[in-house]
Amino acid sequence: MSKVLVIGCGGVANVAIRKCCQVSEVFTELCIASRTKSKCDALAAALKGKTATKLTTAQVDADKVEEVIALIKAYQPDLVMNIALPYQDLTIMDACLACGVNYMDTANYEPEDTEDPAWRAIYEKRCKEAGFSAYFDYSWQWAYRKKFEDAGLTALLGCGFDPGVTQAYCAYAKKHEFDEIDTIDILDCNGGDHGYAFATNFNPEVNLREVSAPGSYWENGHWVEIPAMSVKREYDFDKVGRKDMYLLHHEEIESLAANIPEAKRIRFFMTFGQSYLDHMRCLEDVGMLSTAPVLFEGREIVPIKFLKALLPDPASLGPRTHGKTNIGCIFTGRKDGQDKTYYIYNVCDHQECYKEVESQAVSYTTGVPAMCGALMLLTGQWTTPGVHTVEEFDPDPFLDALDKYGLPRSESHAPALVD
């Protein structure tokens, strides 16, 4: 019996909300709130008569703490699920603290305006000290740890697939498969084809910022940064086949380095097709990925936001995407004095997702873990107060929930390793 406020009503939130509505015995009441209320109303209307969850909708600009506070006070939820954008993480955390409510999200904080001088000064210091230059990092949200602890509240960060399930896989490997983990390779393969020359599978702005940034990995206690897309490997993915993948910086490496300190190397690889890479390079070369406003015919526009308006809406890719995703982690290490390797992953089919929730697998593989993370918090299985990433909690009930609600795990004890 619980009341949940979901903020955001885009591709990922649509899946998470539909999945919450399949578990009405826990998600008894749910308010869908976003910047554009008509999208919330449309989803609530589509679910009418199909769920026992009592749905309401609301308009909110989550960039404004006071608006979120007013909404929380009016609705009185047990949990706020932030499935808007990383830009809203801090304002929503502030509102949760002000109202005494638990919080969760699917991506760590990054600012919308990366030219803001106050943010930039802190960012540049962090680049030098930490050794990686992605715009996003956990420091902003980890700074809330004491406040959440003192308030007896839990904030669960990054509970999608990657970040999210990948960290639960790490916690599972540590708990059941290894005494000591030496290396972790996170492999994210999207073998789907939507038929467009170029489109992104989730929010284009967030996605393009992430993949155009320099790559980096954790090795022997420090970051190694490399030019974007400069490390390429080929891997033969179960149920997908051979794909090129590239080493990227990714947010869970940062928390895993802190929480599995014995790991000597942690890397993240994502598959990309040649068409995607060619388009991205060209867009970057002409300045279309810039977040700095430019003056165009008398008004300021932000190039990457304009590009977002031109690209297909990720939520519209569902009916036309065929193929499968395969995301998981490969480990090397030791158990009972013996060297061993282990691979845990999930395979998800785009068209199966579309049949179930009218969405492609990238939103599905993020929205289902968000629902399962909420389930852990609401059913009292993950309760430690403070600000936590997924690997800090018991992975067993979470992975059981994922098995049950659409993202079952597969395993191999003799995987091909990535060199």
Is 34 a binder of ligand NDP (CB under 6 A)? yes
Give min distance, CB of 179 to ligand NDP, in A: 29
Is 108 a binder of ligand NDP (CB under 6 A)? no
Is 62 a binder of ligand NDP (CB under 6 A)? yes
3, 18, 19, 39: which one binds ligand NDP (CB under 6 A)? 39
Specify whether the CB–CB gap between 216 and 223 falls below 8 A: yes
By CB under 6 A, the residues from 187 to 226 that bind ligand NDP are 202-203, 206
Give min distance, CB of 60 to ligand NDP, in A: 5
Is 94 a binder of ligand NDP (CB under 6 A)? no
Is 36 a binder of ligand NDP (CB under 6 A)? yes
Specify whether the CB–CB gap between 89 and 109 falls below 8 A: yes
Assigned token pair, 338 = 């013996």
Q: Which is nearer to ligand NDP, 303 or 333 (CB)?
A: 303
Phi, psi of 122 (to 5 degrees): -70, -40
Torsion 232-236-238-243 (CA) sign: positive
- Rounded-to-integer distance, Cα 137 and Cα 213, Å: 13
Is 53 a binder of ligand NDP (CB under 6 A)? no
Q: 3-state class of 130 per DSSP?
A: helix
- Rounded-to-integer distance, Cα 188 and Cα 245, Å: 8
Q: Which is nearer to ligand NDP, 151 or 165 (CB)?
A: 165
Give min distance, CB of 129 to ligand NDP, in A: 25
Specify whether the CB–CB gap between 298 and 138 falls below 8 A: no
Specify whether the CB–CB gap between 259 and 392 falls below 8 A: yes
Q: Which is nearer to ligand NDP, 43 or 330 (CB)?
A: 43
Q: Which amino acid is at 322?
A: H
- Rounded-to-integer distance, Cα 357 and Cα 53, Å: 16
Is 161 a binder of ligand NDP (CB under 6 A)? yes
Give min distance, CB of 200 to ligand NDP, in A: 9
Assigned token pair, 368 = 């289902």
Tell me the sheet residues that pair with 412: 343
Give min distance, CB of 107 to ligand NDP, in A: 3
Task: Please compute, for residue 279, the number of CA atoms within 13 A of its CA located in the half-sphere on the CB side.
Answer: 13
SS3 content of the chain, % helix, strand, coil (to 5): 40, 25, 35
Q: How many residues bind ligand NDP (CB under 6 A)?
A: 34
Is 252 a binder of ligand NDP (CB under 6 A)? no
Interacting stretch for ligand NDP, rule CB under 6 A, among 117-125, 156-164, 220-228, 406-414? Answer: 156-164
Bond before 385 cis per omega within 30 degrees:
no
Q: In sequence order, which residues have a C-beta less than 8 Å from that of residue 45 and are 6 or more positions away?
A: none
Q: Which is nearer to ligand NDP, 11 or 191 (CB)?
A: 11
Q: Which is nearer to ligand NDP, 37 or 281 (CB)?
A: 37
Helix residue ranges, H only, 152-226: 165-172, 204-212
Q: Which is nearer to ligand NDP, 20 or 151 (CB)?
A: 20
Q: Which is nearer to ligand NDP, 151 or 245 (CB)?
A: 245
Q: Which amino acid is at 219?
A: E
Give min distance, CB of 64 to ligand NDP, in A: 8
Is 2 a binder of ligand NDP (CB under 6 A)? no
Q: Which residue is nearest to ligand NDP (CB)?
A: 10
Give min distance, CB of 30 to ligand NDP, in A: 15
Is 35 a binder of ligand NDP (CB under 6 A)? yes
Is 101 a binder of ligand NDP (CB under 6 A)? no
Q: Which is nearer to ligand NDP, 106 or 255 (CB)?
A: 106
Give min distance, CB of 231 to ligand NDP, in A: 21
- Rounded-to-integer distance, Cα 72 and Cα 158, Å: 21
Is 63 a binder of ligand NDP (CB under 6 A)? yes
By CB under 6 A, the residues from 358 to 417 that bind ligand NDP are 366
31, 32, 60, 97: which one binds ligand NDP (CB under 6 A)? 60
Specify whether the CB–CB gap between 75 and 6 falls below 8 A: no
Sheet strands side by side (includes 54-59) = 54-59, 27-34, 2-7, 79-82, 102-105, 154-157, 386-389
Gyration radius (Cα) of the chain, Å: 20
Where does this chain bind ligand NDP (CB under 6 A)?
7-13, 34-36, 39, 60-63, 83-86, 88, 106-107, 158, 160-164, 202-203, 206, 314-315, 366
